[in-house]
Amino acid sequence: MKRMAGKKIYDAFYPDRYYNLDAEDPDGFVLWARPPRVSRSISAVAAWRAILVIYLNVTLVPMDGGHKSVAVGLCDYESVRVHHEPDTIAACDSLMDPPRSMLATKLARMARSSSAHDVFHIETALNNRMFSSPLAFLGRNEDEFSEFDRLKAETLRLALSKMPEVAKRKMFNAIPAPYQLIACFAGKADPVHERIVAKLNEQYLVKVKGQSDIVIFPIPFISPYNVNSILNPILLQVMALGYFHHFYRGQPVLRKGGALILCHPCYDDFDPEYHPSYIEFFNRLLPETRDSHQLRAKYEEEFARNPSYVEMYRRGYAYHGTHPFFMWYWGEAGRQHVGKVIAAGAKNAHVPATLGWDRAESLTEAIAMARSFVGRQRQ
């Protein structure tokens, strides 16, 4: 928080006027409206009483920003569970294409029905410069490497092979990205977000002809939910079947029923400080059922009211107790679309099996398995 706002603002306002939202504060929310087709819409008292609410963000992907800001960012569990649920996600024909996203539709409906006053939106977009000069080669394709780039890549690969996982994770988390601003728009939610999404599409979109029987996703070790922490198996799942599966407009790159190969070691590793409820979700619930509707009906409320998870969320660094449920639901559309998931390079059989995936020792083996699966489908 100090790095984002600067020392001057931090020292002047933290913690009384510069603080994080506490979604479990019983006195911190007010019911805005219960209009038709909106089950519940509440928001933080501070925002309700404010003369002006300013929303400022970096929109990294098209599903962020816009009406998602207040409708999700300033509400409690009871509000989030209305739209972060399996059927809503399954009805999204790409989370990254807002007009075709049921989630975006629901959030816009909630925001327009319940706003006490207009919110002034400031949305920004950054370039994709992830690494500064010494590591800039990591942002290029290997066929674009210079001889010096290849030397640096081999040196880095050798060094990383000798380092323990904790040290590697700490090193990469300590490297700030030198992103640069490429767009900034301010005003009402809809026109601002439309312009930012157009800028993102201008930077990201790559034309692809048709669909594939087999698609390979190399999954990185960082996500929006494990900064300074571990990409645990549930977050690996949401990166693959939630985010990566939805990185399209028009139609998915993988045909329905095809084989998806994930390149990732699938470590059975969780951070008890950041993701305590994830540990119980993975080890207790998933062995019983991977069905999102059963998980929601039987266990979601239990995790939401668990006093230990509530306290670790309010006083510590933990995500909300229900967070692993929402992350699992975000993979619902992917699970319904993909015929088989193969984890290439998984270091154990336990994690892929618990997630309902197959395992391969190498990418070569995974491709052979995928081809065999596709071939059987065509017989």
For residue 247, pLDDT over 90 is answered with yes
Tokens 């300013």 sit at which residue? Answer: 54
The pair of structure tokens assigned to 15 is 């913690």
Band of pLDDT at residue 228, cut at 50, 70 and 90: confident
The model's pTM is 0.92
| Of 116-120, 135-139, 255-259, minimum mean pLDDT range | 116-120
| Of 70-84, 120-134, 267-281, minimum mean pLDDT range | 70-84
The answer to whether 110 and 38 are in contact (CB under 8 A) is yes
Tens of pLDDT, residue by residue over 150-166, are: 999 999 999 999 999 88
Pairing of strands 212-218, 254-263: parallel
Task: Tell me the β-bridge partners of 54.
Answer: 120
pLDDT of residue 222: 87
Closest CA to 342 of 278, 263, 245: 263
What CA–CA distance (Å, rounded) separates 77 from 292? 17
Tokens 């939401």 sit at which residue? Answer: 304
Band of pLDDT at residue 324, cut at 50, 70 and 90: very high
For residue 355, pLDDT over 80 is answered with yes
The answer to whether 242 and 327 are in contact (CB under 8 A) is yes
More confident residue, 313 or 40: 313
For residue 200, pLDDT over 90 is answered with yes
Q: What residue segments make up the domains of the chain, in order of their start?
A: 1-128+179-205, 130-176, 210-379
pLDDT of residue 252: 95
Tens of pLDDT, residue by residue over 252-306, are: 999 999 999 999 999 999 999 999 999 999 999 999 999 999 999 999 999 999 9
pLDDT of residue 357: 98
For residue 48, pLDDT over 80 is answered with no
What CA–CA distance (Å, rounded) separates 293 from 334? 15
Mean pLDDT of 177-197: 94
> CATH assignment of 210-379?
3.90.226
More confident residue, 362 or 45: 362
What CA–CA distance (Å, rounded) separates 263 from 244? 13
SS3 for 254? strand
Burial 133-142 (b: 16+ CB within 10 A, else e): eeeebeeeee
Mean pLDDT of 231-244: 97
> CATH assignment of 1-128+179-205?
3.40.50.11440
What CA–CA distance (Å, rounded) separates 11 from 148? 44
Q: Strands (DSSP E) along the chain, which ranges?
A: 29-33, 41-44, 53-58, 119-126, 181-187, 212-218, 254-263, 340-344, 358-360
Q: Report the mean per-residue pLDDT for the chain.
A: 91
